[in-house]
C-alpha cells in the first residue's frame, strides 16, 4: 500500500504543529501516489475535522469519552488497530510528548521502523522512506532510510509547510467504532499546566533567552522586562533550567523547544551545538556576551561584547523608547 496515515490529537485543534503534520502527509501521499488518511483522536472538533477534510482524502474521527484527555496506552491501542486495517506505507506524528512516546511502540507492534525528529521526508527509489534529521547534537546532518514498513516517524512538525486546501475537494469523514482495552496499568492521573503569559515559546516572533552567564534566577526578571519592552517571550539554555532558575519548559535546544523566531536575542549563552540546534531556524540571532570568543558569535548577525549587567537596564529603557505603538 502507498497510503499515508497522519495521527492528530483533537485537543490541539488546527495549530501550527498540526498544520505541519498535515502538510508533510499531503506531500508524501502525493509523492507515493497513495491516499492521505488522518486520524483525529479526542473530543471531536468540527473546525479541525473540516480543515483536515479539505486537505486529506479520508478523515477518521476517534471520539470516545475515555479519549478526551490523552492516555498513551489507549491512544496506542487505537492507532495500532487503525494501522492493522489500513496497512499504510508511513505513519506520521507531531512533536509533542505523546507523539514522541508512541512512535517506537507503534512501529514495534506493526513490525515497522521508526525515527525521531524528522526534518524532511523523501522517498528513495524502490519506495523506502528517507528521513533527514540532525545527529551529534546538531553538529551533523544525517539521512536515514527506513526499510521496514510502515515507517513511523515523529516530525519536527512546525518546520513543515502547511498544505493549502485542495480545490473542490472534501475528504470522507468516518466516525470510528473503537474498542478500548478494559484495564491499563499506566494512567495519567494528574496534569499541571504552568502559568505562562503571552504566546507559547514556539509561536513567538521574538525571543529573549538567558543562560548560565546570568548567574542566577533574579536576572531573568530583568530579561522579562527587556522582553516586555519589545513584546518578546523568554527562553533559556539547559543550564539555566537545570539550575532551577526557570522552568524546564523554557529550555531551547536539542532536547528543549525548537523555535523559529524573527529574532533570537541570546544573553549569557555560549552557543553549544545542542543549544544552536533549537534555533537553527531563527531568522536573526543577536548576542550579548562578555566573551568575544563565545561560539554563538559565529552564528549571530550582530552582537555586543559586554557584561550583560552593564547593558540590561539601559538597553531595556532604549527599546521601550524606540517601540512603535
Partner 1 sequence: MNILVCLKQILDPDIPARDFRIDPERREAVRGSADLVTNIFCENALETALQLKDAHDGMITVLSHGSEEAEDVLRKALAMKADEAALVLDDDAAQADPLQAARVLAAAARKLGSFDVIMVGRESGDWGVGQTGGLLAEELGVPFIALVEHLDVDEGKLRIRRQTDTGTEIFEVTPPVVISITNSENNLPRIPKTRDVMKSYRKPLTTIAVADLSLTPSSDSYFRLVEISVPEKETRCELVEGHNLEQRIDAFAHRVAEIANTTR
Ligand X SMILES: Cc1cc2nc3c(=O)[nH]c(=O)nc-3n(C[C@H](O)[C@H](O)[C@H](O)COP(=O)(O)OP(=O)(O)OC[C@H]3O[C@@H](n4cnc5c(N)ncnc54)[C@H](O)[C@@H]3O)c2cc1C
Task: Indicate whether 119 belongs to the interface with partner 1 (CB under 8 A).
Answer: no
Using the rule CB under 6 A, which residue among 212, 303, 304, 319 binds ligand X?
212
Pick between residue 69 and residue 291 the one whose CB is nearest to ligand X. 291
Task: Indicate whether 289 belongs to the interface with ligand X (CB under 6 A).
Answer: yes
Task: Indicate whether 170 belongs to the interface with partner 1 (CB under 8 A).
Answer: no
8 Å CB contact between 296 and 304: no
Pick between residue 305 and residue 317 the one whose CB is nearest to ligand X. 305
Distance CA 89, CA 31 (A): 12
42 binds, among partner 1, ligand X, none (CB under 5 to 8 A by kind): none
104 binds, among ligand X, partner 1, none (CB under 5 to 8 A by kind): partner 1
Considering all CA atoms of the chain, what is the largest pairwise distance in Å, rounded to the nearest integer?
A: 64
Rounded to the nearest whole angstrom, what is the least distance from the CB of residue 61 to partner 1 in the complex?
24
Task: Indicate whether 235 belongs to the interface with ligand X (CB under 6 A).
Answer: no
Rounded to the nearest whole angstrom, what is the least distance from the CB of residue 296 to ligand X in the complex?
7
Task: Indicate whether 258 belongs to the interface with ligand X (CB under 6 A).
Answer: no
Distance CA 321, CA 311 (A): 16
Distance CA 185, CA 148 (A): 30
Segment contacting partner 1 (CB under 8 A): 22-30, 31-39, 57-65, 311-319? 311-319
Pick between residue 58 and residue 98 the one whose CB is nearest to partner 1. 98
Pick between residue 78 and residue 241 the one whose CB is nearest to ligand X. 241
Task: Indicate whether 262 belongs to the interface with partner 1 (CB under 8 A).
Answer: yes
Spatial neighbors of 3 by CB under 8 A, at least 6 apart, are 29, 32, 34, 35, 36, 37, 86, 87, 88, 89
8 Å CB contact between 6 and 36: yes
Is the alpha carbon torsion for 105, 5, 173, 109 positive or negative? negative
8 Å CB contact between 308 and 290: yes
Phi, psi angle pair for 114, to nearest 5°: -135, 160
8 Å CB contact between 4 and 89: yes
170-185 burial code (b ≥16 CB/10 A, e <16): ebebeeeebebeeeee
Spatial neighbors of 132 by CB under 8 A, at least 6 apart, are 118, 119, 120, 121, 122, 141, 142, 143
Using the rule CB under 8 A, which residue among 81, 104, 162, 215 binds partner 1?
104
Using the rule CB under 8 A, which residue among 188, 199, 216, 291 binds partner 1?
188
Task: Indicate whether 301 belongs to the interface with partner 1 (CB under 8 A).
Answer: yes
Task: Indicate whether 290 belongs to the interface with ligand X (CB under 6 A).
Answer: yes
Write the binding mask 68 to 107 for ligand X: x where contact by CB under 6 A, - elsewhere: ----------------------------------------
Residue 248 three-state SS: helix
Task: Indicate whether 220 belongs to the interface with ligand X (CB under 6 A).
Answer: no
Residues within the interface to ligand X (CB under 6 A): 137, 211-213, 237-240, 251-256, 268-270, 272, 274-275, 278, 288-291, 294, 307-309
Amino acid at each position: 500500500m502507498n497510503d499515508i496515515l497522519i495521527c492528530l490529537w483533537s485537543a490541539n485543534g488546527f495549530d501550527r504543529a498540526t498544520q505541519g503534520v498535515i502538510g508533510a502527509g499531503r506531500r508524501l501521499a502525493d509523492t507515493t501516489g497513495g491516499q492521505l488518511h488522518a486520524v483525529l483522536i479526542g473530543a471531536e472538533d468540527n473546525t479541525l475535522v473540516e480543515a483536515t477534510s479539505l486537505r486529506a482524502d479520508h478523515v477518521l474521527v476517534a471520539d470516545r469519552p475515555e479519549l478526551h484527555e490523552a492516555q498513551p496506552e489507549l491512544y496506542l491501542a487505537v492507532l495500532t488497530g487503525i494501522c492493522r486495517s489500513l496497512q499504510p506505507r508511513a505513519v506520521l506524528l507531531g512533536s509533542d510528548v505523546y507523539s514522541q512516546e508512541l512512535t517506537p511502540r507503534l512501529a514495534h507492534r506493526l513490525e515497522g521502523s521508526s525515527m525521531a525528529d524528522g526534518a524532511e521526508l523523501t522517498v528513495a527509489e524502490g519506495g523506502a522512506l528517507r528521513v533527514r534529521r540532525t545527529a551529534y547534537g546538531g553538529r551533523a546532518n544525517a539521512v536515514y532510510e527506513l526499510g521496514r514498513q510502515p515507517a513511523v516517524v515523529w516530525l519536527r512538525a512546525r518546520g513543515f509547510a502547511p498544505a493549502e486546501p485542495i480545490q473542490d475537494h472534501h475528504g470522507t469523514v468516518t466516525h470510528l467504532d473503537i474498542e478500548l482495552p478494559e484495564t491499563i496499568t499506566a494512567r495519567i492521573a494528574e496534569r499541571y499546566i504552568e502559568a505562562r503569559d503571552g504566546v507559547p515559546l514556539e509561536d513567538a516572533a521574538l525571543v529573549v533567552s538567558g543562560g548560565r552567564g546570568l548567574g542566577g534566577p533574579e536576572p531573568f526578571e530583568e530579561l522579562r522586562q527587556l522582553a516586555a519592552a519589545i513584546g518578546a517571550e523568554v527562553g533559556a539554555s539547559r543550564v539555566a533550567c537545570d539550575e532551577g532558575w526557570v522552568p524546564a519548559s523554557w529550555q531551547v535546544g536539542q532536547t528543549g523547544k525548537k523555535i523559529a523566531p524573527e529574532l533570537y536575542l541570546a544573553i549569557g549563552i555560549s552557543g553549544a551545538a545542542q543549544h544552536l540546534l533549537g534555533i537553527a531556524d531563527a531568522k536573526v540571532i543577536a548576542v550579548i556576551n562578555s566573551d568575544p570568543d563565545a561560539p554563538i558569535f559565529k552564528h549571530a548577525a550582530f552582537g555586543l561584547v559586554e557584561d550583560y549587567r552593564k547593558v540590561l537596564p539601559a538597553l531595556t529603557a532604549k527599546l521601550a523608547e524606540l517601540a512603535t505603538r
